[in-house]
């Protein structure tokens, strides 16, 4: 179990990237969903011991992460949003080098580790190829391979499927699902479908705060009756913006489908939205934007 307690991080320029964040994350896949600039990467770097929070506490099992970061690093696998490697080195040689850095001293053990990971991530056939020649999906699978060195108990992946084509995205998500059965895996992303497909528990982070937390299906059920849908002409959008709180729009067959947030039936031809995690996400973001306005008033 990973426990985050009242984490706050304020950068030197005064930006409050994290604002009293508390979470309990059990074994399995956990989705951290939020828009760009929400504080997700700051939170992931903090948990990964790459920066210290302004205040708060983090524990992983019996480890006080802030007091003894080296103990967590022995159990941690991390795939950051911007994953850099030596581009002209082969996948095999790069993994072997990283295994040395991770403390795998025995040449025989390194060989077994590297070969197992290359097969697990479906990179064995390109093991001698320079990483510079890898596609985006292959690079991400290599990133997971290096994160799995040393059999980590906590794995953090930050925006792992951004920019991947559908086939590579599916392959990568299937790989994550296999990994997430026995360890804590935090999937930090702004892509709603990734969380919906993989995670039995999730949280929405916006403006540095946890806005919502729970099981996706439970959160979807709670959102029903608060989100309403209507199909309108493409040129009719602006009048609806003036009258309703639109949380999402989608073009379909030359028309626009709008979803609006309302605690009561808005009438005017709207019908209850079918409901999905996307509605939960967008309605949560809309409410988070309301809060500063209400406080200012």
Q: What is the pLDDT of residues 87-101, one digit of tens each?
A: 789 999 999 999 998
Percent of the chain surpassing pLDDT 70 = 97
Helix ranges (H only) for the chain are: 40-47, 69-73, 91-101, 107-120, 136-147, 166-179, 192-198, 216-223, 237-243, 277-296
Q: What is the pLDDT of residue 296?
A: 44
Judged against a pLDDT cut of 50, whether residue 288 lies above it is answered with yes
Six-digit token string for 18? 């994290």
Q: What is the pLDDT of residues 157-176, one digit of tens each?
A: 988 887 778 888 888 888 88
Q: What is the pLDDT of residues 246-265, one digit of tens each?
A: 999 988 888 899 999 998 99
Q: Angle 66-22-262 (CA atoms, 0-180°, nearest 5)?
A: 155
In this structure, are residues 17 and 11 in contact, taking their beta carbons and an 8 Å threshold?
Answer: yes
Judged against a pLDDT cut of 80, whether residue 229 lies above it is answered with yes
Strand order in the sheet with 271-272: 246-252, 255-261, 227-233, 271-272
Name the band, by pLDDT with cuts 50, 70 and 90, for residue 105: confident
Which residues lie across from 203 on neighbouring strands? 32, 213
Residues 6+ apart with CB under 8 A from 217: none
Q: Angle 284-54-201 (CA atoms, 0-180°, nearest 5)?
A: 35
Conformation bin of residue 229: beta by default, left when phi > 0, alpha when psi is -120 to 50: beta
Name the band, by pLDDT with cuts 50, 70 and 90, for residue 292: low
Q: What is the pLDDT of residue 53?
A: 96
Name the band, by pLDDT with cuts 50, 70 and 90, for residue 291: low
Name the band, by pLDDT with cuts 50, 70 and 90, for residue 82: confident
Q: What is the pLDDT of residue 259?
A: 94
**Most confidently modeled range among 41-55, 130-144, 150-164:** 41-55
Q: What is the pLDDT of residue 71?
A: 93
Work out the average pLDDT over 118-140: 90
Work out the average pLDDT over 123-148: 89
CA distance linking residue 277 with residue 217, whole number of Å: 8
| Best CA proximity match to 43, nearest among 163, 210, 181, 182 | 210
Mean pLDDT over the full length of the chain: 89
Q: Provide the sign of the torsion angle of the four alpha carbons 196, 36, 248, 263, taken in this order.
A: positive
Judged against a pLDDT cut of 90, whether residue 287 lies above it is answered with no
pTM of the model: 0.87
Six-digit token string for 211? 């806005």
């Amino acid at each position: 179990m990973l426990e985050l307690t009242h984490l706050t991080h304020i950068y030197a320029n005064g930006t409050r990237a994290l604002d009293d964040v508390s979470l309990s994350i059990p074994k399995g896949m956990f989705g951290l969903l939020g828009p760009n600039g929400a504080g997700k990467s700051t939170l992931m770097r903090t948990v990964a011991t790459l920066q210290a929070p302004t205040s708060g506490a983090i524990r992983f099992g019996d480890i006080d992460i802030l007091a003894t970061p080296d103990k967590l690093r022995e159990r941690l696998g991390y795939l950051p949003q911007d994953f850099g490697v030596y581009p002209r080195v082969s996948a095999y040689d790069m993994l072997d080098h990283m295994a040395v850095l991770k403390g795998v001293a025995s040449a025989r053990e390194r060989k077994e580790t590297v070969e197992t990971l290359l097969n697990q991530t479906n990179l064995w056939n390109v093991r001698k190829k320079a990483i510079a020649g890898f596609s985006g999906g292959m690079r991400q699978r290599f990133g997971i391979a290096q994160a799995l060195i040393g059999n980590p108990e906590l794995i953090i992946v930050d925006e792992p499927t951004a920019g991947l084509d559908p086939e590579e995205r599916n392959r990568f998500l299937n790989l994550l699902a296999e990994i997430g059965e026995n360890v804590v895996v935090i999937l930090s992303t702004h892509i709603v479908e990734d969380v919906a497909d993989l995670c039995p528990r999730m949280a929405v982070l916006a403006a540095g705060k946890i806005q919502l937390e729970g099981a996706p299906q439970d959160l979807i059920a709670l959102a029903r009756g608060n989100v309403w849908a209507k199909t309108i002409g493409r040129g009719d959008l602006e009048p609806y913006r003036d009258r309703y709180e639109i949380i999402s729009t989608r073009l379909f067959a030359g028309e626009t489908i709008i979803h609006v947030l309302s605690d009561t039936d808005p009438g005017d031809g709207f019908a209850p939205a079918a409901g999905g995690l996307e509605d939960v996400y967008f309605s949560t973001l809309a409410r988070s934007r309301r809060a500063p306005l209400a406080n200012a008033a």
